[in-house]
Amino acid sequence: MFYPFAWALLLASTLNGLPVIMDKIPASTQAPTLPSFWKPISAAQATRLGPPRIPVKPSRVLELNLPALKKTLASAGTAGPVLQLPLPDGSLVAFRMRTTQVMAPELAAKYPELQTYAGQEPGHPAHEVRLEVTPAGLRAMLTRSGHTYFIEPYRRNDTRYYICFDKASLPAGRSAGFEAPD
């Protein structure tokens, strides 16, 4: 059940100096919890995976439920779902995603397994993400607060494990393939 008056009551009570008890407001009026498709991997688990495709420190290794993420992105359209993406510090950031078309329509029809998306962090339009999902997995570039972050497959031909890192952490000479568009 939706209680549209709950937020007005909360605001009025706060402005009038009355105590407000949040647990008395029905859960249906509180912000929804976003699903996370990411699971952090311990350093010991990451070591067992072998060396990463991109040797960068510091970084964060995560496991991704790619089928569930693809299912959510399938509903993206032009103003689609809010998707949480990881940062190297272990936090998750929400982005409202939309589909984008970077290929000519005839190529997109020939290769439907190649999907591209763009998104913005709600409330922070300058914080953006570009994301692609292909048979090789997910790749993403996030620009946020003056930093550029990447999410890349941990190993070649592995769509389960990913590495998240700040572009500034790349070894000298390795950033050429990770340039942000102007």
User: pLDDT tens digits for 79-104?
Assistant: 688 899 999 999 999 999 988 888 89
Q: With a cut of 50, list the residues of the chain below it in pLDDT.
A: 1-31, 178-182
Half-sphere exposure at residue 31, Cβ-oriented, CA atoms within 13 angstroms? 5
In the chain, where are the structural domains located?
A: 1-30, 34-171
pLDDT number for residue 15: 35
CA–CA distance, 155 with 152 (Å, rounded to integer): 9
Tokens of 41: 């991997």
> Strand (E) positions, the chain?
38-40, 60-64, 82-86, 92-100, 115-121, 124-134, 137-144, 147-153, 161-166
pLDDT number for residue 76: 64
Q: Which DSSP state fits 67?
A: H
Tokens of 120: 């913005």
pLDDT digits (tens, 9 = 90+) for 150-166: 999 999 989 999 999 99
pLDDT number for residue 173: 65
pLDDT number for residue 18: 36
